[in-house]
Amino acid sequence: MHDIRLVRDDPAAFDAALARRKVAPQSASLLALDEKRRALVTQSENLLAERNAASKAVGAAKASGDDAEFERLRALVSDSKERIAALEAETGEADAALRDALMQIPNLPRDDIPDGADEADNIEDKKWGTPPALGFEPKQHFDLGEAMGCMDFEAAAKLSGARFMLLSGALARLHRALAQFMLDTHVDHNDLTEVWTPVLVRDEAMLGTGQLPKFAEDSYRTTNGWWLIPTAEVTLTNIVSGAIVEESYLPRRYTAHTQCFRSEAGSAGKDTRGMLRQHQFEKVEMVTICKPDQSDAELERMRRCAEGILESLGLAYRTVVLCTGDMGFGARKTYDIEVWMPGQDTYREISSCSTCGDFQSRRMNARWRPDAEDGGKAKPEYVHTLNGSGLAVGRCLIAVMENGQREDGSIAIPDVLQKYMGGASVIRPDGAVA
């Protein structure tokens, strides 16, 4: 959420930044709401001052025996109470209207973000590794998995419908191995703190990270009002919601492996075969809470944590900077990391790492208190938040399967995963490990 003071200070710059995201000017309507709210606050304060003065005068009038003045002042105080109550209610409505309007507006892009309309305008920043020369026509993951008898979309559809998947045997174990390897790497080598979080959250948590109110249709809600998380970004970031943390607490770096749930609204016809785009999937998420002067370095650090997983697995990838038209709602800058998928003969997204500045922390009222040089209490400031996939587990499984496939239908298991697979180095065409 934006600070209305920034809009007041330079409305033209605010609208210009939104224009880079193809968003119509908002400053005029925001300032009109703000002016109304401030006028109501001024009226309330003036009326309260008048009432307080009249309250003091009531006693003096009674003591002097001026019954007429006493009755006039008492009526004035009584009337003022009703008018103040009405103004306070109207002010509350104006506050809510301004907040609701600010909640709908995306974050402003950083100055170094490339302008563009969609993913075609993203800028490649780095490429690592070489796509494998397989020497035969590569299969996609669903053909490999179904032939092994370890990937069953028909059974999943019978249970739940389209965009669900059932893994069994060696592929279920490989999927679990990937998640465990990611967590172990982030905890043991990347200095992230592992967290086990709920997957059901309240409205406030979804509001805090920007999934609500604008993107309600993208998520699932239970009949009693909980939301199924689309990513552990929601739970990990909201750990500091409503809190004031001390400077020594920061930076705080979290990771969590969770189930994630997305309705995939608006994605009809996209990636309908296989497990690339599912309603239920698993992800190892990374979230950083930090001071404003740390967030740029933390974004680069988070990006390297995600890239390092792919490098350890020997998977070729490229990292791109998203243009203004392709960034998420809450991001100021985003790196997408795309892994090579031989079956599709292209790179596909496997991680997004974003810095949000104080956009989410204002929604959550999450702040930090700088250390005061004189030993007193410094004024709290809003923290900066970052989030990134480290990585999407299902998509990583796809990449391992397709890059490790052999002409006979077997799949080579990356060296770093073999200890999680009982020492096995290959999944045979019949689904057995060896």
Residues 6+ apart with CB under 8 A from 415: 314
CA 318 to centroid of chain Cα atoms: 22
Looking at the chain, how many residues does it have?
A: 434
| H or E element, residue 81 | helix 67-103
Identity of residue 163? R
Burial class for 178, CB neighbours closer than 10 Å (0-12, 13-18, 19+): buried
Report the sign of the C-alpha dihedral through residues 147, 148, 150, 155, in that order.
Answer: positive
Q: Cα–Cα distance between 222 and 209 in angstroms, integer? A: 19
Based on its alpha-carbon atoms, the radius of gyration of the chain, rounded to whole angstroms, reads 28
Q: What's the rounded Cα separation, in Å, for the pair 116 and 327? A: 10
* Residue 219 · residue 260 · CB < 8 Å: no
State how far the alpha carbon of 166 is from the alpha carbons of 54, 130, 235, 429, in Å.
74, 31, 26, 18
Inter-CA distances, 279 with 23, 41, 334, Å: 29, 46, 23
Enclosing H/E stretch for 393: helix 393-404
Concatenated DSSP letters for 303-340?
HHHHHHHHHHHT--EEEEEPPTTTS-TT-SEEEEEEEE
Residues designated as active site:
262, 277, 349, 352, 395
* Cα atoms in the 13 Å half-sphere on the side-chain side of 308: 14
Tokens of 186: 């982030």
**Which value, to the nearest 10 degrees, does the dihedral of the CA atoms of residues 319, 240, 105, 281 take?**
50
- d(Cα 183, Cα 68) in Å, to the nearest integer? 79
Which three-class secondary structure state does DSSP give residue 288?
strand
- Tokens 């996209």 belong to residue: 270
